[in-house]
Chain A
């Protein structure tokens, strides 16, 4: 339903990104966090890179490992730079061979999710879950990306 509204475009797509204050008689006055439209928007923007890593020879597990490694690398790098008198570039050699397209997708998705008030650690989790869903059903992913491109 949300995807349909996004694909329809125009006012329906804009309505997905609305964040109105709720009226009197509601449960809470401030709207709840709704990240799905931003995820769809991120997938649409990163479609080329998503298709690249889906089309690569890496297995799903290898791709998921690459994703985890990127997210772990960032966490690791942050931990190191927070210590005094230590240089940041201490990443293991094998982890440097990360898939460029995976990095691009993560970067784009994170950029979209930064527009919401989702905390950073939950953002990484949301990105991981999104990419896992895309990788686990590659045919559906390709179809969705095709529809997103047509509606753009």
Chain B
């Protein structure tokens, strides 16, 4: 392939970050985020319950649903960075001390290489930051800049091929239009730091506290809720036995299971976005390796020693990048058509995985409810509901509902994948000279699109055969949220 192949858009793979933004985000907001926000607002602003007035901590129980806001906040933060790219630009330039002067010989050399592949690209730098290598960031809605650091300069002197592979990776991001839309993932890393604490605090601590208060009310209500009666209760052996059994065998286990369920339900929104971001990195690797004609320089670059981080910080860092081992494995897939097929199918599979995680979350929620109510306690249950508990599992319904929402997305994405080579041709992009490569590239997209459509039809078959879903049921589910809200 020619040296200037980065200019050739023809052999690019589908831009799934944009697919996520244009095809997946709207149904996600409609189906999951909007109802979650409404659920929280309704729970928080509901009329005062009698027992809340009697207990100082009563009102805090309304915060049990606070975790519902996490996915929405992640999307909102990402959207802000998307809508205001200059905000992200200023933040990054300030944080990493970037400047636009290139009065250093090594920067001239690197810039010449960069401009030979992508003329006119703006370059900023901070060679003092040896811990950083290079990244791209938006200069607006259509332009991007490349930031260079001491890490790439050091690499340029020691292993110029690896350094060039790194730069080609970054240029591939710019060519694929990733500079603007990767900002959408910023919210994940910002909020992931706090998500576990929020879920733990609300679902476990608040819930268990509420359970304890209700338990006391239900079992010792005649004695009142005063410091004297509370202390007296805890000095009563029978009360303590019942209380400890309730706390450690009912309340805490069911709350832990429910917290896991909440974590999975919140993660579902993020999975497709996360996979689209990982896909962008893997495709940039693939493009760089294809241009160089070999994966080895890039593999060497991915194998260089990195700074030591705690496991939590390592996890946070890998929100925006797939693990290096996965990247190296992907680069070693041969032949190249298999690698392209793996990449093309990554995003459609992420939608299926998100659905399965959602169902698993629902199953865990069912388990927490069944566990909590497994010994029907007439005093407890009649106090709270007035009826005996007969729990109906929700997870089969979740397969039904989620399939209805995911199937059209998969159909659209499958068609998009199949049409991608034609879309590229319509953009009048030169397709290069190698007919065999072009045929292989087209074939991968046709097969990838057909597999995606097959997944969609499989879900349709499940809906019709197992659930007896009809077209009117389908329309009803899509409009259900609107009529409810």
Q: Which A residues form the contact surface with B (CB < 8 A)?
A: 1-2, 5, 12, 15-16, 18-34, 36-37, 116-119, 122
Given the interface pairs A2-B150, A23-B92, A117-B307, the reply to whether A29 lies near B318 with Cβ below 8 Å is yes
Identify whether the interface residues of A are mostly helix, strand, loop, or mixed: loop
CA distance A110 to B228 in the complex (A): 63
Q: Is B287 an interface residue (CB 8 A)?
A: no
Pair A22/B132 contact, Cβ less than 8 Å: yes
Binding-face segment, B182-190, B235-243, B378-386: B182-190
Chain B 163-188 per-residue mask, 1 if CB under 8 angstroms from chain A, else 0: 00010011001000011001101100
Q: Which of B169, B170, B309, B321 has the most CB of A within 10 A?
A: B321
Pair A24/B186 contact, Cβ less than 8 Å: yes
Chain A residues near B417 (CB-CB < 8 A)? none
Pair B170/A27 contact, Cβ less than 8 Å: yes
Pair A15/B306 contact, Cβ less than 8 Å: no
CA distance A136 to B130 in the complex (A): 25
Pair B169/A27 contact, Cβ less than 8 Å: yes
Q: A23-B186, A24-B135, A31-B131 are in contact. List 17 more A-B contacts (CB 8 A).
A: A1-B128, A2-B150, A20-B95, A20-B96, A23-B92, A23-B137, A24-B186, A26-B134, A27-B133, A27-B166, A28-B306, A30-B309, A30-B317, A32-B305, A32-B307, A34-B130, A119-B305
CB proximity of B17 to chain A, nearest CB, Å: 10
Given the interface pairs A2-B150, A25-B179, the reply to whether A30 lies near B128 with Cβ below 8 Å is no
Across the interface, name the chain A residue whose C-beta is closest to B151. Answer: A32
Chain B residues near A21 (CB-CB < 8 A)? 189, 309, 313, 316-317
- For the complex of A and B, 7 pairs with smallest distance between CB atoms: A34-B130, A117-B308, A31-B131, A26-B135, A29-B317, A24-B182, A29-B321
Pair B132/A31 contact, Cβ less than 8 Å: yes
CB proximity of A30 to chain B, nearest CB, Å: 4
Pair A28/B97 contact, Cβ less than 8 Å: no
Given the interface pairs A31-B151, A32-B306, the reply to whether A26 lies near B128 with Cβ below 8 Å is no
CB proximity of B162 to chain A, nearest CB, Å: 10
CA distance A84 to B87 in the complex (A): 63
Pick the residue among B301, B308, B320, B324 that contacts A23 (CB under 8 A).
B320
CA distance A1 to B127 in the complex (A): 8
Query: Considering only CB atoms and an 8 Å cut-off, how many residues of chain B contact the other chain?
Result: 47
Given the interface pairs A23-B137, A25-B178, the reply to whether A30 lies near B306 with Cβ below 8 Å is yes
Chain B 348-376 per-residue mask, 1 if CB under 8 angstroms from chain A, else 0: 00000000000000000000000000000
> Which residues of chain B from 411 to 466 have any CB-CB distance to chain A below 8 Å in the complex?
none
CB proximity of A133 to chain B, nearest CB, Å: 15
> Which residues of chain B from 301 to 346 have any CB-CB distance to chain A below 8 Å in the complex?
301-302, 304-309, 313-314, 316-321, 324
CA distance A118 to B302 in the complex (A): 16
Given the interface pairs A29-B317, A32-B151, A32-B304, the reply to whether A15 lies near B133 with Cβ below 8 Å is no
Chain A residues near B320 (CB-CB < 8 A)? 23-24, 26, 29
Q: Is B277 an interface residue (CB 8 A)?
A: yes
CB proximity of A117 to chain B, nearest CB, Å: 3
CA distance A28 to B306 in the complex (A): 9
Q: Is B74 an interface residue (CB 8 A)?
A: no
Pick the residue among A12, A18, A23, A118 that contacts B131 (CB under 8 A).
A18
Chain A residues near B130 (CB-CB < 8 A)? 2, 16, 32, 34, 36-37
Pair B318/A27 contact, Cβ less than 8 Å: no
Q: Is B115 an interface residue (CB 8 A)?
A: no
Across the interface, name the chain B residue whose C-beta is closest to A5. Answer: B128
Q: Is B24 an interface residue (CB 8 A)?
A: no
CA distance A138 to B48 in the complex (A): 81
Q: Is B136 an interface residue (CB 8 A)?
A: yes
